[in-house]
Structure 1
């Protein structure tokens, strides 16, 4: 008995050693194959590029716990998101109690660590998101059934997590559709507690070094410091979480939360209150970026505050919790020790009540807002109610702000502010009064004036000035009595009237306006390049622009007159016309201007109603544009007509054009649809490769740098090609008829009929004599006239053109038998039949080669599939790694067979095409 027991113990020890050794050795032996397989499977299941540097499973590293680690992971977008790193982290590791893994019912996770994660979330203007990378893998018809099954049959698996930690996270969120962004820098988070128990205490500690939030071009939060530390009582059975000792802070203001959050099934029940522990005014000021970012520690303050709020109710798809916020500031002031003046008598009384069940019961009450900046008082009041059914507003803005003294109160550093703002506006009533034009029931009167205003900053070094601005308010409209401004070298004056102004401000309704705009100089380059570079020396790459979305709630009619506009390299003068902005479109009505040594008249529209596909539709009348200046001035013409840079002359054209724009405001070339006419008295070509090839062929240097006279042509642009109807012109002593098409990709397909005096034929006279000799040998009496008609085909590209004569369609004007007829009678009738037969035989042989290759390829694929299925069947019998390896081998067989099959077809097609090309060459001899 003792021997049996001893022998049994020895066997158990050996088995235990073998198991431990296997757990250590197996991952090491198969690690490269497993990593490669994991990467391949992951990348096959997502629309992104996924990489990781290492994957570890170890007993030694976390002994006595099992350690699982993933290192150096990156998930990078593709296509439009190719520059976005969606997710990246240095290390993701999990430590698990080894013995709990074997039971698979109550897994004890000791810790989870995510180290240095970087996340980028982006929403494009057209609503696409960069995180939607999962490829569909589940039949959508079964989703409801799957959901029902998983809901009704919960798993018995429980994961008892004790610690979850995030270190040094950086998160970036960009929403281009709403012009909103957020950046989180250096987020650290620790959640600890025994989450495997029914009742436990969770400890949370979170810090964020810098949070920045922007919307509409304004920074509402700038590098704010945030943090939360506290304990939460967790009832895991009833999914109830109760706040205990805790503190949440933003910059210098701290808040204390009380209450609980319940999450029974699909609803979330909230009953939470919060208030501030600190009653000093300085803590509230820390929320103002301009103050918190500059010498905040030395700021002198006094005054009392009250800040409290609540959220109570149910959150689901139909309702939201009720919420409230109350802020009161009493007799406060602040002053910077280094500055001579202060802000005094600050008093604020604000209450916001949000009704999550019936949002029409929501109210906003700013009962009092008063501040005195360097002795200049400003008062405001605002009340809003019934916002959903018929918004009722009431309030006023009264006071003045002397920007000249603002720098005596707040350090402005690199900013310069000057000027005087005076406001005296009173308003009150329901939006329906204005909608029904019951203006006598709505109160709105007062003025807003801004004079001698100046603003400069590092982002706007050229400065912005409002010399004079005056607005008069009434229920019916806002009268813009004057607006006289300057931005750098540009000036802008406006007068007019704005209607529906108050519903626009409070209810996002459409604002209507009729404005007169005048300017002596508008230097657009200053706004695009950020400097005051001279127009003649600095070009702005218009391709760097982005789509400018036209608001759908603006209805403006603007009459414009601008003496000079500097845009890119263009000097545009005497611009007059009307612009109508409405329903997300800008319509141009008889917009006329002088530019590029000529004039331009434009009517049409720019349409952003579908921001995914903005469009343009123009009627244009161009007179006397200088060709070199035009090509240099437009980036798009530089791309599609680069070969025309050495063309000289002036052109006039009348055309209509429609196109879709890409994200850089450039037309999508294949979407351009245009037609019209073009005229020019003279167009000169220098170093043209096309005419250079013609000159070489005809041995006439006069055609190398020709001048084309009396051009009058019709054209059409469609599907990425420019089609030119045949037109007559004259170059040197040669009359020409030119027609054909060219691609926006620079490809050429033209036919040119040339009438050439035989005295100018040069070396081609030898060819004519040869034709006469051949005709005479056939007993034909042939005479060649003094003018030879020669057809020339032009192919290839603008940078590498192919020029060759088309003898089959060339002729003389002689009334007797022509050289063309001679060739047809004596040679071509017979050779054409032979040539066609030669080509037909070659095409038949090419088709045969293709069919044979396809059949051979199909046979290869079928054999690979059969072998693969056998491998998978054998692997499934063995299970485990054998099954995985078998599937991988089967996939590789199919992949190799498919590759070989495609190569067979490709090689056969190449061989067939070579036969056809050779036949064509023989036919052309």
Structure 2
């Protein structure tokens, strides 16, 4: 028993030791074989971080694993990673480890792979990494270090992107998984294959045509690795939940490929075809009853080599179908569609896409359409037409509108025929475009807008060169407007992203600009709130539009505005106001200037503003800038006129950022009166108080500058409370001020104490005005007033020096007489 236990222990130790030593002993040999095999077969940069061997993971076989593999192209593709994987593993027999001349790969496991296939505009591809061989060289497969005879393939988390720059086509397979197991008979392997693609995406010419589509496949595949022929047995594909039967084969005899594949929908029903609707929108089909015939079938047959592509035939059809939501009263009936995608063997420019028939109707309101696209690669030609009538009331009774209240009638037709080269060259002689649409009694109300939009009438006429808009009479809230005009260069704009030009006349009896600025409803799902609503907007760069505006009356921020007349131009990412005149605040306003979009949503502006006879109390209540720089206007009456040229920035709510202001201008007053001002109340110790109750200011004109938000006032002269005064100083952006008021006070208007004191001084009779300086500093809301009597003292001293001996004795006697009266 002891001997048996000893033998078992020895065997166990040997096995454990082998399991540990074999990966160590053979790791370098296998790594060298892998590197040699790769270098012999690819013209690319291949890197991996580690190479592992394990006897435990796949016992009794050894698992070989490459970790963090990447394959990068060379030359112009040296920055493009063609392939990467978290790991690639295969299982090897122990005999392969001891056979230095041969490795047999029968299974492979790939995890977290990314494949990026790129075909450049000049026809080069990044996957052409096979080492070039001379035609006369014969390959001796018996001397190969590695043989591939796959029986099991497992792929997890594969992402594949194909980017064809010449056709502006991008195809993506996201989060794909694949399981394939097979039986080997010589060089032939029969696979059972299960695959699923989490999302299939197709983009063409910057437009996404397919997204959120799930692909699945269950297939039997026979692979002849010797002849490189792959044939599908009983196979089924699924686009979302739409089943498609797949049959046929493809071959790869050399550097070309041959296809003979067929796809066909097994059930020709409209309801089954609706499974093509992307997953994100499948919920819209809940409760839908669908009837009618429909189907999809396609075939690919022929050779693929360089620019020679196989023949393609695809057909999608719908016949005598209808669709109805069970909770809605109306149905969409007479649905018909006939679509074909065809191409003979040859160049992709032979591809033709044709919708020969598309029809649907609700009650007696039909819509018909056809489309033909040819020569997509060289110069795409198009021929399309649309004709029909939509009664939005019945449409809302057939399709769920998600809280949208919609009514009214749209009727019209449109035809378009030409080539992309004619569009780009603006050669309208080679483009045929005709259309006519009429709108009547359109009513739109959605949760996204605060007021319903109503279009009582409107006509749109379309030809090769322009879209003419006439009799657009609309209303939203309390605002109304009528729009007439035209759009030109619309084909290059819609088809080639060129500049859209337009010239319109806008007329209105009344515009409520407060309602219009808050027309978009607040998003209640937003988690972050701001104190100001965001109304700053981006002006598109490919618009060149002119609006001649005549608005009888408007209101904004409690201001009544009338007789708005001028040009509004949208151009070069700017909103330009040109000689925009209006009556407001009891006077007139003219604006010239630009509003310039900013990526940070802080638009720039550059304005020249002329103000004529604004009523001061009304202007103070309405203009925030005036409240910022002239709080004294809150207790003022009269009128002001001004011309200001300034520029700066606005915030997201279109309020001016004070520190950004720079400019210059002048300010004039008419009949200015300052009522019960606390500031002027502080100078009553040298001016009679009755003069300061309602301070009259003589009309003046003052020049000023704006520097980084600071208002700098050049010295100017006026009369305040019937006293000559020179005013200068500054109002800073932090709402503090430092103003100097140099008064020449009439002797008769001095307070009694100062007047009496002067009467005792010799030479006082020669003083008609006294120089008194007043400094106003501190916060704008509560400024401090300080007196500067230095000039007055110098003035008095100078007059005393001029006095005669008799005048001095007389003044001394007068002072003595007053003292006697005081002590009598």
Structure 1 segment 293-372 matched on structure 2, within 5 A: 296-306=286-296, 328-350=317-339, 365-372=354-361
Counterpart-to-counterpart distance in 1, 2:739 and 2:482: 52
Counterpart-to-counterpart distance in 1, 2:313 and 2:650: 46
8 A Cα contact 1:783 1:818, kept in partner: no
Q: Which moved more, 1:561-570 or 1:390-399?
A: 390-399
Counterpart-to-counterpart distance in 1, 2:313 and 2:774: 83
Deviations 1:500-554 (A, max 9, x none): 222222222222222222111222322333499xxxxxxxx99523432222222
Name the residue aligned to 1:708.
697
Aligned-pair CA distance for 1:747: 1.7
Aligned-pair CA distance for 1:293: 5.2
Structure 1 segment 207-356 matched on structure 2, within 5 A: 280-282=269-271, 287=277, 296-306=286-296, 328-350=317-339
8 A Cα contact 1:543 1:635, kept in partner: no
- Change beyond 3 A, Cα 1:349–1:658: farther
Name the residue aligned to 1:648.
636
Residue 621 in structure 1 maps to residue 610 in structure 2: yes
8 A Cα contact 1:636 1:666, kept in partner: no
Counterpart-to-counterpart distance in 2, 1:585 and 1:598: 28
- Change beyond 3 A, Cα 1:367–1:644: farther
8 A Cα contact 2:686 2:754, kept in partner: no
8 A Cα contact 2:86 2:111, kept in partner: no
Residue 798 in structure 1 maps to residue 768 in structure 2: no
8 A Cα contact 2:262 2:297, kept in partner: no
Aligned residue pairs, count: 614
Corresponding residue to 1:556 among 537, 542, 545 = 545
Q: Which moved more, 1:424-433 or 1:782-791?
A: 782-791
Structure 1 segment 814-893 matched on structure 2, within 5 A: 817=798
Name the residue aligned to 1:810.
791
Deviations 1:194-231 (A, max 9, x none): xxxxxxx99999999xxxxxxx9x9999xx99878899
Structure 1 segment 769-788 matched on structure 2, within 5 A: 785-788=767-770
- Change beyond 3 A, Cα 1:437–1:506: closer
Counterpart-to-counterpart distance in 2, 1:718 and 1:576: 32
Residue 747 in structure 1 maps to residue 719 in structure 2: no
Aligned-pair CA distance for 1:288: 8.8
Residue 657 in structure 1 maps to residue 646 in structure 2: yes
8 A Cα contact 2:538 2:601, kept in partner: no
SS at match of 1:817: helix
SS at match of 2:491: helix
SS at match of 1:810: helix
Structure 1 alignment gaps of length 5 or more: 1-96, 110-147, 165-188, 194-200, 209-215, 234-242, 260-271, 315-321, 533-540, 823-925
Counterpart-to-counterpart distance in 2, 1:820 and 1:805: 24
SS at match of 1:710: coil
Aligned-pair CA distance for 1:400: 1.5
Whose strand fraction is larger, Structure 1's or Structure 2's? Answer: 2
Residue 483 in structure 1 maps to residue 486 in structure 2: no
Counterpart-to-counterpart distance in 2, 1:398 and 1:709: 72
SS at match of 2:494: helix
8 A Cα contact 1:572 1:593, kept in partner: yes
Counterpart-to-counterpart distance in 2, 1:820 and 1:230: 116
Name the residue aligned to 2:499.
510
Name the residue aligned to 2:7.
none
Deviations 1:137-183 (A, max 9, x none): xxxxxxxxxxx99x9xx99999999999xxxxxxxxxxxxxxxxxxx
Counterpart-to-counterpart distance in 2, 1:324 and 1:634: 69
- Change beyond 3 A, Cα 1:598–1:443: same
Aligned-pair CA distance for 1:448: 1.6
SS at match of 1:548: coil
Aligned-pair CA distance for 1:289: 11
Name the residue aligned to 2:555.
566
Corresponding residue to 1:421 among 394, 406, 410 = 410
Q: Give the RMSD, CA atoms, in angstroms.
A: 6.0
Counterpart-to-counterpart distance in 1, 2:796 and 2:401: 91
Name the residue aligned to 2:122.
none
Counterpart-to-counterpart distance in 2, 1:327 and 1:642: 73
Name the residue aligned to 1:237.
none
Normalising by the residue count of structure 1, what TM-score does the alignment of the two structures yield? 0.54
Counterpart-to-counterpart distance in 2, 1:277 and 1:793: 95
Name the residue aligned to 1:380.
369
Name the residue aligned to 1:268.
none
Structure 1 segment 373-412 matched on structure 2, within 5 A: 373-384=362-373, 392-412=381-401
- Change beyond 3 A, Cα 1:677–1:685: same
Aligned-pair CA distance for 1:491: 1.8
Counterpart-to-counterpart distance in 1, 2:726 and 2:746: 15
Aligned-pair CA distance for 1:705: 6.2
Aligned-pair CA distance for 1:415: 3.1
Aligned-pair CA distance for 1:385: 5.3
Aligned-pair CA distance for 1:619: 1.8
Counterpart-to-counterpart distance in 2, 1:363 and 1:723: 71
8 A Cα contact 2:336 2:357, kept in partner: yes
Structure 1 segment 28-107 matched on structure 2, within 5 A: none
Counterpart-to-counterpart distance in 1, 2:432 and 2:85: 64
8 A Cα contact 1:466 1:484, kept in partner: yes
8 A Cα contact 2:642 2:668, kept in partner: yes
Q: Give 1 or 2 for the bigger CA radius of gyration.
A: 2
- Change beyond 3 A, Cα 1:206–1:692: farther
Deviations 1:755-775 (A, max 9, x none): 2234544487399779x99xx
Corresponding residue to 2:443 among 444, 454, 457 = 454
Name the residue aligned to 1:176.
none
Residue 547 in structure 1 maps to residue 536 in structure 2: yes
Name the residue aligned to 1:724.
713
Normalising by the residue count of structure 2, what TM-score does the alignment of the two structures yield? 0.60
- Change beyond 3 A, Cα 1:530–1:475: closer
Aligned-pair CA distance for 1:499: 1.8
Q: Which moved more, 1:455-464 or 1:709-718?
A: 455-464
Counterpart-to-counterpart distance in 1, 2:245 and 2:374: 29
SS at match of 1:657: strand
Structure 2 alignment gaps of length 5 or more: 1-53, 58-62, 68-77, 91-108, 113-174, 180-191, 200-205, 222-231, 249-260, 305-310, 522-529, 804-824
Aligned-pair CA distance for 1:753: 0.6
Counterpart-to-counterpart distance in 2, 1:409 and 1:422: 18
SS at match of 1:629: helix
Aligned-pair CA distance for 1:421: 1.8
Deviations 1:861-903 (A, max 9, x none): xxxxxxxxxxxxxxxxxxxxxxxxxxxxxxxxxxxxxxxxxxx
- Change beyond 3 A, Cα 1:249–1:641: farther
